[in-house]
Amino acid sequence: MKLSNLLSADQIILDLKAEGHGSVIVELVDHLVDTSLLPASLRDESLAALKAREDQVSTGIGSGVAIPHAFSDELDEVVAVFGRSITGIDFEAIDNAPVHFIILFLVPRKQYQLHLRTLAAIAKLFANSEVRRQLAAAATRDEVLAILEARPYRNGTNDA
């Protein structure tokens, strides 16, 4: 599963306004609602599911990356949004470093295996410091998409 397959330019925020862990999740979910990718009727339920997941353990995976995610009984396909924070957000990440890249996604509960593959692909992609460097320097949403689409990996595959 390529992350670029889950995103369009409308699903990318280059300069998040939120400054806190919880408020950035609200900003990302509201963006999905504003762009009609998430029905407004699922906003509160999605926020509650994401908060419950974050309450278990932070989804800040280190290296400036967080992957907030949750399941939904109401969705038929994965819904995702990418946000970049120039200043960084305290996400209670495992390395205690500020988070600059947040990939939030909601997965239909019946697609648990897709959830696991998506998490693994995102973690693999963002483990690459060159990808993070390029994403930090990207000036447009289309540049971000191109980076996510074209990134080769050490094992020769391009599956994130």
Give the active site residue among 21, 31, 69, 115.
69
From residue 43, give the alpha-carbon distance in Å to each of 59, 62, 124: 20, 27, 29
Residue 100: active-site member: no
Backbone angles phi, psi at 155, to 5 degrees: -85, 10
Both structure tokens of 150? 């074209």
User: Could you write out the DSSP letters of every residue in 40-87?
Assistant: GGGHHHHHHHHHHHHHHS--EEETTEE--EEEESS-SS-EEEEEEEEE
What's at 130, amino acid-wise?
E
Residues annotated as catalytic are: 69
